[in-house]
Chains A and B, each alone.
Chain A
C-alpha cells in the first residue's frame, strides 16, 4: 500500500470521480477510477441474490399483512396476523421451546467444545487421530443422525437402564423430557465443528505466555482464566452468537427424533412455520410469524454481540 505510486496514465481521459480524488483511497487505482470489469463481476450476482434472497423476504413481509392461504384469493387484513400470534398458544409454545432449546444447546456445545479443544491442544498422545475422531460428526447429516439416536433413545438406552436396575423409558415419548433427547443429539453433532473452531483459536496463543505464567507459579485454572480465555474471547463471542443463531433454526433433528411431539411439545418455530405454511393453509399467518422471528433473531444477535463484547473487554 505504501509502495511508490505509479505515474498517472496521461493518455487515458479519466473521468476522475470527485469522491475518489477527494477521499484518500486505501487502495490506489492506476486509472483513478474503477475498471468497469469490477462492476460486471458483482452486478449479476447482486441481481440474482436480490431475486432469490431479498425478494422472498419482501414478498413474505407483504403477505404477512394478508390472509393468503397459499392458494386462491387473499385480502389485506392489516396487522391482525401479528396480534393473533400473541394469542396463539401453539406459536408461543414453539418460541419458548426453541429459545429454551437454543440456550441450553449453545451453552452445552460451547462449554463441551472448549473443554475438548483444551484437551486436544494439551500434551496428549495421538492428538491428530483424536482430532480426526471428534470432527467426524460434522460430515454426517443431522437428519440421519437423528434417526439413529431415535432408535437409541427408544430401544437401547431403556434396555441399558433396565439392565442396571433403573426404570428405563423412552425419553422421546415423554412430553416433559423429549427436549433433552433433542439437545443430546444436537450437541453430539454440533460439538465437532466448534471443537475445530476453538482449536484454531487456541493455536493462535503464543506458548511463551504459558511459560511465563508457569514460572510465576500460576495454576492451570489461573492460566486458563487469565490467559487462554481472554485471548480466545473473540472466538467465544463469535461461536456463541453463531451457534445460538443456528440452533434457533432447529428443524432436521426434530423431524427425525420427535416430529414435534409428543403432542406439540417439541415443535420449533421453523417446524411451525413449515407445517402451517405448507400444510395448514396459513401462508399469510405464518409469514407474520416468520417476520416476528426475523425481528427476534436480529434483536437477540445484537444484544448478544454487545453483551459478550463488553465481557470480553472487561477481562
Chain B
C-alpha cells in the first residue's frame, strides 16, 4: 500500500525540479513572484493567529486574561491542562473518539469499496444501476430530516452506543464514497480481473487480492475524509449517544461549557487538548493528507 501511495504522492507534490510539467499561473519563465508570496504570507496569518491565540490562552493564568489576549503569557500555567484533563475526563473522551474514528474508517474502507466494486462492474445491469442512483440520491437528503427518527430507531435497536455510531458513519458515508470509488474502479482495466478469474479466482478473491490493493490511493482519500469527519463530528454523537461515559471529545467540550464558564484558561487548555491529536497527525502526514484530498476531487 505504502509504495503505491508514495508513487502517487510524488506525482502530485513534486514542485520545481521536474523539468516542465505544469507551468504555473503567471507562465513564462520569470522567477518567484515575491509580492504574491508576501500577500499569501499575510493571508496565512488569518489562519495562524487564532491558533496562536488558542495556545497562549491555554498557557495563561486567569489573572493574565484581559487586554487583546494576544500577548504572550507572563508565566506559564501548566495546571490548566491538568484541570481540563480531570474536568472533562479527557482520557476517556479521547479513547472513545479514537475507537469510534478507527472503527468508522476501517469498516468504511472494507465495506464501501466492496459495494462500489460490485456496482461499478455491473453498471449495465438494471439492478445495480438502480442501486447506484438510489445511493446517489441520498446525497441530497440533509441530516436534520433523519435526525429525529434515527434517534428513536437506534434507541430501539440498542445502537445508541459507540458501535452504533461506527455503523452510522459507515452507512451515511456510503453515498459519497460510492461516488468516489466507482469513478476510480472504472479506470482499472478489467483485463486484470479476467486474467485472475481464468486462473480460478472467485469474485471475492478477485476483489480482495486484485482490486482492493489497487484501490489504495482512493482508500487513502476516503480514509482521510472519514477520519476527519468522525473525529470532529458533534451532532451525531450529541443525539445518538445516551451513556455519558461514551462521550466524544467535541461532545465533552459542549457538555462542560457550564463548568468552563468563568474559567477561560482551563477551557482553552481543554480545546487545545481536543484539537491537538488530529492536528499533530496532520502536521506529520501533511503532504500525504493534502494530496489524498486533492486526489479525491480529480477523479
Q: Which residues of A contact B (CB under 8 A)?
A: 1, 3, 6, 19-20, 23, 25-28, 30, 34-35, 37-39, 41-42, 45-46, 48-49, 51-57, 59-60, 63, 70, 116, 118-128, 130-145, 147-149, 151-152, 155-156, 159-160, 163, 188, 192-193, 196-197, 199-208, 210-211, 213-214, 220, 223, 228, 235, 245, 248-249, 251-252, 255-256, 269-270, 273-274, 277-278, 283, 286-287, 290-291, 293-294, 297-298, 301
Contacts and interface: CB of A to CB of B under 8 A. Distances in A.
B82 interface: no
26 contacts: A23-B124, A28-B190, A38-B118, A48-B167, A56-B146, A57-B149, A59-B149, A116-B43, A118-B25, A119-B39, A119-B40, A122-B33, A123-B25, A135-B289, A139-B281, A140-B232, A141-B234, A141-B249, A147-B271, A148-B50, A152-B50, A155-B65, A202-B25, A211-B23, A211-B27, A228-B25
Interface size class, chain B: 35 or more
Contacts of A214: 27-28
Contacts of A251: 234-235
Contacts of B263: none
A290 B149 CA distance: 11
Contacts of A30: 194, 197
A116 B40 contact: yes
B22 A206 contact: yes
Contacts of A255: 234, 254
Contact of B250 (A25, A34, A144, A208): A144
Contacts of A200: 294-295, 297-298
B24 A121 contact: yes
A188 B232 contact: no
Given A38-B118, A116-B40, A147-B271, A249 B142 contact: yes
Per DSSP, are chain B's interface residues mostly helix, strand or loop, or mixed? helix
A192 to B, nearest CB: 8
B298 A156 contact: no
Contact of B31 (A123, A132, A147, A277): A123
B107 to A, nearest CB: 11
A148 B269 CA distance: 11
B15 A128 contact: yes
Contacts of A211: 23, 27-28
B266 interface: no
B37 A124 contact: yes
A207 B43 contact: no
Nearest to B97: A141
Interface string B168-181: 10011010000000
A41 B148 contact: no
A3 B51 CA distance: 56
Given A122-B26, A293-B144, A301-B140, A148 B68 contact: no
Contact of A163 (B68, B115, B172): B68
Contacts of B203: 35, 37-38, 41
Which of B34, B168, B202, B232 has the largest number of chain A CB atoms within 10 A?
B232
Contact of A123 (B33, B118, B119): B33
B2 interface: no
Contacts of A131: 290
B15 A34 contact: no
A217 B205 CA distance: 58
A6 B111 CA distance: 30
Contact of A122 (B25, B123, B144): B25
Nearest to A192: B47
Contacts of A48: 167, 171
Which of A156, A220, A255 has the largest number of chain B CB atoms within 10 A?
A156
B87 to A, nearest CB: 15
A130 B41 contact: yes
A298 B295 CA distance: 28
Interface in B181-212: 190-191, 194, 197-198, 202-204, 207
B208 to A, nearest CB: 11
B32 A207 contact: no
A60 B261 CA distance: 37
Interface string B12-46: 01010000111111111011111011011101101
